[in-house]
Structures are given as structure tokens and as C-alpha cells.
Amino acid sequence: MNGVNISMPKTYVFSIAIEEYAFLPKLPNAVNDSNGIIKTLFDKYKIDDVWQLENDNVASNTIKDSFSKIKAILKPEDSLLIIYNGHGTIKGKGETAYWQFHDSKERDENTWYKCSDFFDEMTELDVAHIALFVNSCFSGNLFHQDGFNASKYDEGKGKKTRALFTAGLRNEATIDKYDSNKNSPFASAFIEVLSNNKDQHELYLLNIVSYIYSQFNKNEYGSMPRYGTFKGRKPDCRLCSPLVPHLIVNELADTLMFITFECSSQI
């Protein structure tokens, strides 16, 4: 033994959820979705810490503050899962994507949050793997934002995975509730695949994607999820359980993507 301290990769979660709105329709399942996913992750997987913003605590400044805290703690070998549950909208000929928070107004874009600003925050994180799950209307439009193709994602040898998974395709609305389920279809399928995983060592990110996609494919949810990676990033991460508690590169990911994702041509 030479006494060298080897840092083990860690997995963190950053969750944003808004169900209470002052001027827009409420989303009764948004916080339930977030809490259900986080509880399942903590129950079955090795999650080191979580940052949660909910309802009127969600704002551009609190998001920036959260990213500052995340940046100060995460190491280059670590992984971050980001989850957004809330309203989304688009504006203009370029169909720019925005998120809408507690005090957002339907026709006042000055009260909205531009999603490319969130991408800018992500580029500042010097961590190996980031997966962003977005459960909102018009979430598929994120694939067409400037930040999604930013050259910054090509910079830095340590940035191995930058994945985006949305509850809908471009210009698609999504639903917060289906039948008597206490979660939205997107979150319900996410929780199911996390809960039903029998492998004691790992769960591939693209297995999560494939399962959620299959549930939408066989039910009438009115939207279809979409998966892709930021510029220069390969779809090569997996979400792992206690024995391998982080997102890591895996060569099988490209094969899984080819087999399971029929809408890959839209990416």
C-alpha cells in the first residue's frame, strides 16, 4: 500500500419541480413526480446527495445558486442527474424553449426562464457525466436550442456524457396525469424501471430510456419521448446501483440506442 487516496466517483441529483402556480394551471403531480423518483433512487441506488427546488423557491437566481453549490462539491469523476417537472412553453419563429415557474404569466415572456440559460450553467460543470430529464410541454424543442449544440460541450477531456431525455417531441404538449395514477406518465415509467431493476450492480441509462419509450408507445399519452446527446457527446452513460454508484461509459450504449430507439433519426 502506498497510501494514495483514490477518489471514488459519486452520483448526485438536482431536481426542480413546480406544481403551485400563481397565474398558470397547477400541476398536481409535479412535486410528487420529483419526490417519487428521488425516493426510489435513494431506496435502491447509491445517491450521495440531492439538491431540490420546489414551487416558489424556483427562480433564475436559486438555480444559479444551486449550480454554484454543485460546482463546488462535484469532482471531475462524478455524475449528475438533473430532473425538471413543470410548465414549459415556446416563443417566436425560432420556437425558443422556456420553462415557466411559480410567478410566470402566460403571455409575459419576461417572467419565463430561457432553457438555453440552463444549458449555459451546465457547461460550467467540470464533471464526467450529466443526464438531464425534462418533463414539460414543448420539452422536445430543447433539441433545437442554441445551447444544445454549443461547442463548449466538446471542450474538456473529462466531459464524457451529456445526455438529454424529454417527455415529448418538438412542439408536443405533455400531460401531468393519466387515469388515477398519482404520477405523470413520464415519471411513473421512470419510477417503475428504477424499482423493477433486478440487477444488483447497474442499470443502463439507455435501458431507462427504452422502458419509458415503450410505455409511451403502447399507451395513449398524447406525446412521445425523445433522447439525444449534446454536441460531441456519445450516448454512453449508465445509472448504477450501490456497487457501482455512478454514471460511466459503456460501449453497449450505441447498440442499445440502435435497437430500442425508433425515433433516433430525429436526433
Backbone angles phi, psi at 53, to 5 degrees: -120, 130
Name the pLDDT band for 35 (thresholds 50, 70, 90): very high
Most confident of 44-48, 126-130, 188-192: 188-192
* pTM across the whole model: 0.84
Name the pLDDT band for 43 (thresholds 50, 70, 90): confident
Q: Residue 33 above 90 pLDDT?
A: yes
Query: What own/partner pairs with CB < 8 Å and gap ≥ 24 does 50-55 have?
Result: 50/12, 50/13, 50/14, 50/15, 51/12, 51/13, 51/14, 51/15, 52/15, 52/16, 52/17, 53/15, 53/16, 53/17, 54/16, 54/17, 54/18, 54/19, 55/17, 55/18, 55/19, 55/20, 55/31, 55/102
Burial zone of 20 (CB within 10 Å; 0-12 exposed, 13-18 middle, 19+ buried): middle
User: What three-state secondary structure class fits 47?
Assistant: coil
Average pLDDT over every residue of 26-39: 95
- The per-residue pLDDT for range 198-252, each reduced to its tens digit, is 875 577 888 899 999 999 999 889 899 999 887 655 544 444 433 333 333 332 3
Most confident of 42-46, 82-86, 148-152: 82-86
| Mean pLDDT, all residues of the chain | 80
Confirm or reject CATH 3.40.50.1460 for domain 11-266, answering yes or no.
Answer: yes
- The pLDDT value recorded for residue 154 is 57
What letter does residue 53 receive in the DSSP assignment? Answer: E
Average pLDDT over every residue of 7-18: 90
**Nearest to 75, CA basis, from 129, 130, 126, 13:** 126
Overall size of the chain counted in residues:
267
